[in-house]
Amino acid sequence: MTEGKEKRAHKRISISRIITTIMLYIMLFVIVILVIYPLSFTVSSAFSDSNSLSGLSVLPFTHSVKVDTIDAIALGENAYALPDVEKLPTDKAIYVVIPQTNTGSATLAIGDNAALPLRMKAKDGTLSEPAEGKLKEGRIAGITFNGTELVVEKTYTNATLPTYMAFGGFSLIQFKKLFEDTNYKYWFFNTFKIACANTVISVLCTTVAAYIFSRFRFRGKKPMLMSMLILQMFPSFAGMIATYVLIWRLGLLDNLFGLILVYSAGSIPYNTWLIKGYLDTIPRSLDEAARVDGAGYFRTFRTIILPIARPMVTFLAVTSFTGPWMDFILPRLLLKSDVNKTLAIGLFEMINGRENNYFTQFAAGAVLVAIPFIIIFAINQQYMTQVLSSGAVKE
């Protein structure tokens, strides 16, 4: 009997629960879209064949159509020659005839007859079925044609709607352009070289130094450790100008090695502390046992300490590897010629000030970089949880 009453009581609350559950799901999905949209837009731009941002469709992976030339602006349905923009009427419908490369022409209605859908006008004059897309009316203040498409100034109309027609397929032309027209492969390999060298130098110098700090006692140890701590407080480019002058003096400007040196030096304070903390948790008895067996310091370090510290050292290696890929300020300062640039600089300059024309190339470059990054991130995540939960790091 009581069970039946509980079930009924349960059912009474459920309506508000259903509403809140629905709202929760709606919110989650909206956020999913917000999170994914920029990424999918970039990926779709990387595979599109349009050059500029304005030629891209809003929805990812719909093919955008390139418009070659503009034929005429027609009043009514007859094509006229291009009139003065100022003389365009604002109360009548205007058809803009834009020739297509393949099948005919598309007409675009602006103004009064804004409800007229977009239709294709073939060469023999027949109008096609209306395509998707609703037009919005607006006042035309000026129409310009930038070689790729129609841009309506001062008022926004769907003058760029022709790009919404989906003709299917995607192209790899952006990737081709990336490798042919820019020095992308140099940038990629430069950054790769820098990352590898930084990893090797960082890991070597830092682990040895951390071992020494952890195991030895010598005069000046405490001041050195304190000063390392204080040094890591300074923001990295407090010494920007000075680094530039130093590298200049050493003759290493526009040389990858200068950059590598600066990276390695900059990561020393923090990493030494990190590894030292980790090594401190390894019991000294291991060292002593090794010494009793006759091993020298380096032998002990190499054969006993390093294998135990492997998780931390691997973490350090991965961090040192991924760090230089997206660093911007230092390479911008120290590297000049296009062939020596790193990825970050190259990609940035692709879209800096030329926002419109190279976005798809940039998207291609970005996709090529982001995929390995995401993979490394995923691996590192699992690794990090392993390292942190193994108990050897106490922080």
Q: Is 196 exposed, middle or buried (0-12, 13-18, 19+ CB in 10 A)?
A: middle
> Is residue 304 near another protein by the rule CB under 8 A?
no
> Is residue 209 near another protein by the rule CB under 8 A?
yes
Q: From the list 80, 167, 257, 377, which residue makes contact with another protein (rule: CB under 8 A)?
A: 377
Give the Cα separation of 126 and 117 in Å (integer): 15
Nearer to another protein, 123 or 221 (CB): 221
Nearer to another protein, 233 or 292 (CB): 233
Interacting stretch for another protein, rule CB under 8 A, among 54-62, 66-74, 79-87, 104-112? Answer: 54-62
**Kind and range of the H or E element at 208?**
helix 184-215
**Closest approach of Cβ 287 to another protein, in Å?**
13
**Closest approach of Cβ 173 to another protein, in Å?**
19
Contacts 24+ apart (CB under 8 A), 312-316: 312/274, 312/275, 312/278, 312/387, 312/392, 312/393, 313/203, 313/207, 313/275, 314/383, 315/380, 315/383, 315/384, 315/387, 316/202, 316/203, 316/206, 316/207, 316/271, 316/274, 316/275
239 Ramachandran zone, left/alpha/beta (phi>0; psi -120 to 50): alpha
Q: From the list 38, 125, 130, 283, which residue makes contact with another protein (rule: CB under 8 A)?
A: 38
Give the Cα separation of 298 and 211 in Å (integer): 10
Strands (E), the chain: 72-75, 94-99, 104-110, 119-122, 142-145, 150-153
> Is residue 172 near another protein by the rule CB under 8 A?
no
> Is residue 241 near another protein by the rule CB under 8 A?
yes
**Closest approach of Cβ 383 to another protein, in Å?**
14
Nearer to another protein, 74 or 327 (CB): 327
Site size toward another protein (CB under 8 A) is 95
Interacting stretch for another protein, rule CB under 8 A, among 77-85, 309-317, 334-342, 366-374? Answer: 366-374
Nearer to another protein, 4 or 220 (CB): 220
> Is residue 261 near another protein by the rule CB under 8 A?
yes
**Closest approach of Cβ 269 to another protein, in Å?**
7
> Is residue 344 near another protein by the rule CB under 8 A?
yes
> Is residue 351 near another protein by the rule CB under 8 A?
yes
Q: From the list 132, 298, 379, 386, which residue makes contact with another protein (rule: CB under 8 A)?
A: 298
> Is residue 58 near another protein by the rule CB under 8 A?
yes
What are the helix (H) ranges across 50-183? 173-181
Q: From the list 78, 144, 355, 390, which residue makes contact with another protein (rule: CB under 8 A)?
A: 355
Return the residues of window 8-37 that contact another protein according to CB under 8 A.
21, 24-25, 27-28, 31-32, 34-36
> Is residue 212 near another protein by the rule CB under 8 A?
yes
Give the Cα separation of 46 and 351 in Å (integer): 14
Chain centroid to Cα 109, Å, comes to 38
> Is residue 347 near another protein by the rule CB under 8 A?
yes
Any residues with CB less than 8 A from the CB of 309 and at least 6 apart, and which? 207, 275, 278, 279, 282
Q: From the list 328, 338, 354, 386, which residue makes contact with another protein (rule: CB under 8 A)?
A: 328
> Is residue 290 near another protein by the rule CB under 8 A?
no
Beta-carbon count within 10 A of 56 CB: 21
Nearer to another protein, 105 or 207 (CB): 207
Q: How many CA atoms, within 13 angstroms, populate the side-chain half-sphere of residue 91?
A: 0
Cβ–Cβ under 8 Å, residues 149 and 165: no
Instruction: Using alpha carbons, list the distances in angstroms from residue 54 to 62, 162, 372.
Output: 14, 11, 29
Give the Cα separation of 46 and 178 in Å (integer): 10
Nearer to another protein, 170 or 244 (CB): 244
**Closest approach of Cβ 52 to another protein, in Å?**
7
177 Ramachandran zone, left/alpha/beta (phi>0; psi -120 to 50): alpha
Nearer to another protein, 32 or 122 (CB): 32
Nearer to another protein, 40 or 128 (CB): 40
Interacting stretch for another protein, rule CB under 8 A, among 78-86, 119-127, 179-187, 353-361? Answer: 353-361
